[in-house]
Amino acid sequence: MIVGGGKSDEFQPFPVKDQLPGVDFCLSSAPSWPEAILLGFQHYLVMLGTSVLISSILVPLMGGGNVEKADVINTILFVSGINTLLQTLFGTRLPVVIGASYAYIIPSISVALSRRYSFIIDPRQRFKASMRDVQGSLIVASFFTMIIGFFGFWRIIGRFFSPLAAIPLVILTGLGLYAQGFPLLARCIEVGLPALVAVVFLSQYVPHWLKSRRGIFERFAILFSVAIIWAYAEILTAAGAYDNRAPQTQFSCRTDRSGLISAAPWIRFPYPFQWGRPRFNAGDAVAVMAASFVTIIESTGTFIAASRYASATPMPPSVLSRGVGWLGVGHLLDGLFGTGSGSTASVENAGLLGLTRVGSRRVIQISALFMLFFSVLGKFGAVLASIPLPIMAALYCLLFAYVASAGLGLLQFCNLNSFRTKFILGFSVFMGLSVPQYFNQHLLVSGHGPVNTGSTWFNNVMQVIFSSPATVGIIVAFFLDCTHSYGHGSVRRDSGRHWWEKFTTFSTDTRTEEFYSLPANLNRFFPSF
C-alpha cells in the first residue's frame, strides 16, 4: 500500500532547531539599559501576584492579620530576590525568577490547622508558632533538595531524560496551574475579562498593525494592560460599583480592600528568625520534603521552557543538577527568614520570556533588584501588591499557555508517526490531568484526600505528590519511556534521545560553555561533568 509520495518540489517539514529562532535577545545578550530596567520591572510585577495569593491563603489560617500578611509578602519578595540572583549567577544561569510555590500550601495549611496550637488564644502568637514550625520543616527539607542537586542524583536522572519524557513535563507545568487562570479571573469578571482581552490585543494584534512600534507593544503589553485595567478598576471602586456587593466580590474587585498599604511599614528589613526560633517536627518535615520533590520536578519543567525561550541549547544534566542544588539553598533561606512557603522556578515569568521574546539573563537579575528594593520599602511595594488578583489571573492565562506551548515545541524532536510515542504522550498527559483532578476534588468534597490513614504526614505526602499534574505526568512518562519496548532499535530515535545526546556532557558542544559556564572562571573550582 502506498502511504505517501510526492514530487521533490513539495513542501518539506520545518527543520528541527536546537535553539528557538525568532528570539530578540538570547540568554547571554541584553537590550539597552532603559529597556532592560522596564523589562525587569515587568518581571517583578508578574511574580508579585503569586506572592500575594499564597500569603493571602496561609497567613489568615495561621492567625495573622494584615500586618503579618504585609510582612510575609515583603519577606517572600526579599528572599525571592536573593534566590533569583543566586540561580542566575551560580545555578542553571537561565533567566528564571525563583518565587513562592503552591506545592507547599498543603503542608503549611496542615501545620496551621494542627491541634497543637489549640491552647494559644492570641492570634499573633499562634501565627508565630505556626510559622516557626513551617520554618523548621523548610530547613530540614532544604538539605534533601541540596543533596539531590549537589551530590548529582538529579544529574543521573537527567542522563535518562529524553524529549519524549520532557514534553508532558513542560506541558503540564503550564497547564497544571489552570486553577490560577480563568477560575481566579472569574471572581471579578468585569475586571478580569477586560484585562485578558487587553493583554491579548496589545501583545498579539497591535504589533502587526503598528510595524514601527512592534517591539514596544510586544515587550511591554503586560505593563500597558495592567496600567489601563487597574485605572479602570479604580474608577469602578470610586464610583461605588461594589459598595453593596458580597464581601468576597469586594475583596476580589475593589482596589482599596487588601489592607496592605495601611499595614505595610515604610521601611523594614526582613531578617532571619524574625518570627522566633524554628521548631522541628518529623512528620511536618517529611510532608515538606514531598513538596520539595514536587518543586524540583516543576522547576525542571520551567528550566526547560526558559532555556527554549532564551534561545539556549538544552541543559546538560550537570547544569540541571547544579540548579536543583541552588534551589535547595533557596529553600534553606526560606526556612531561615520565614516565608511560610518554599521556592520554585516561576512558571509565569518563564512564559513572559516567550511573550516578550527577550530571554536575557540581565533582565531577570534587574527584576531581582526590584524585589529587594520593594521588599524593604514596604509602602511602595504594598501599592503594587494591591492590584486586584483577577487582573493578575488574566496575565496568567496567557503566560501559563506560553510555557505549555514550549512543551509542545519539543514535539519536533520525536517521531510522531510512532504508536509508542503517541501512547506515551497521550497517556502521560491524560493521567497528569486526571489523577490530580481526582485528588483535589476528593479533598474539596470530603475535607480530606483519597489517602486517609491515621498518619497525617503520610496523607499529606500522598496529597502533595498526586495533586501536582507535572509530577504525575513525568512519573508516568519517564517510567514508560525507560521501560516500554526499551530494547527495540527504533526507540532511541523515536523518543528524540539522539538530538539531546551531544548535550549530555558539558564540553561536547561549544555553545554549552557560552550559556551555562559559571562567572569569574569558577568552573575551574566547580567543574561540570
Residue 18 has pLDDT above 50, yes or no: yes
At residue 98, the pLDDT reads 97
- 3 state DSSP class of 343: strand
Residue 279 has pLDDT above 60, yes or no: yes
Convert 204-241 to b/e letters by CB count within 10 Å (16 or more is b). eebbeeeeeeeebbbbbbbebbbebbbebbeebbeeee
Which tens digit of pLDDT belongs to each residue from 483-492?
988 777 788 8
C-alpha cell at 518: 559559571
Which tens digit of pLDDT belongs to each residue from 428-478?
999 999 999 999 999 988 888 899 998 999 999 999 999 999 999 999 999
| Model confidence band, residue 1 (pLDDT cutoffs 50, 70, 90) | very low
Q: Which of 363-367, 376-380, 451-455 has the lowest mean pLDDT?
A: 376-380
| Model confidence band, residue 7 (pLDDT cutoffs 50, 70, 90) | low
99 forms beta bridges with 344
C-alpha cell at 90: 551560580
C-alpha–C-alpha distance, residues 394 and 183, integer Å: 10
- 3 state DSSP class of 236: helix
98 forms beta bridges with 345
What is the mean predicted confidence (pLDDT) over 44-56? 93
What is the mean predicted confidence (pLDDT) over 268-280? 93
Tell me which long-range contacts 224-227 makes (C-beta under 8 A, separation of at least 24): 224/198, 225/195, 225/198, 225/199, 225/394, 225/395, 226/45, 226/195, 226/387, 226/391, 226/395
What is the mean predicted confidence (pLDDT) over 172-191? 93
Q: Which of 58-72, 260-274, 363-377, 425-439 has the lowest mean pLDDT?
A: 260-274
At residue 529, the pLDDT reads 45
Which tens digit of pLDDT belongs to each residue from 144-175?
999 999 999 999 999 989 999 999 999 999 99
Which tens digit of pLDDT belongs to each residue from 194-219?
999 999 999 999 888 877 565 788 89
**What share of the chain in percent tops pLDDT 70?**
96
C-alpha cell at 528: 561540570
Mean model confidence pLDDT for the chain: 90
At residue 317, the pLDDT reads 93
Which tens digit of pLDDT belongs to each residue from 215-251?
788 899 999 999 999 999 999 888 888 888 888 888 8
C-alpha cell at 280: 522541628
Taking alpha carbons only, the member of 305, 382, 392 closest to residue 347 is: 305
| Model confidence band, residue 522 (pLDDT cutoffs 50, 70, 90) | confident
CB-facing half-sphere around the CA of 523: CA atoms within 13 A: 17
At residue 503, the pLDDT reads 86
Q: At what angle do helices 33-62 and 123-150 cross, to 10 degrees?
A: 130
Which tens digit of pLDDT belongs to each residue from 313-343?
999 999 999 999 999 999 999 999 999 999 9
Q: Which of 79-88, 259-268, 348-357, 493-502 has the lowest mean pLDDT?
A: 259-268
Q: At 267, which amino acid appears?
A: I
Q: Kindly report the pTM of this predicted structure.
A: 0.94
Residue 257 has pLDDT above 80, yes or no: no
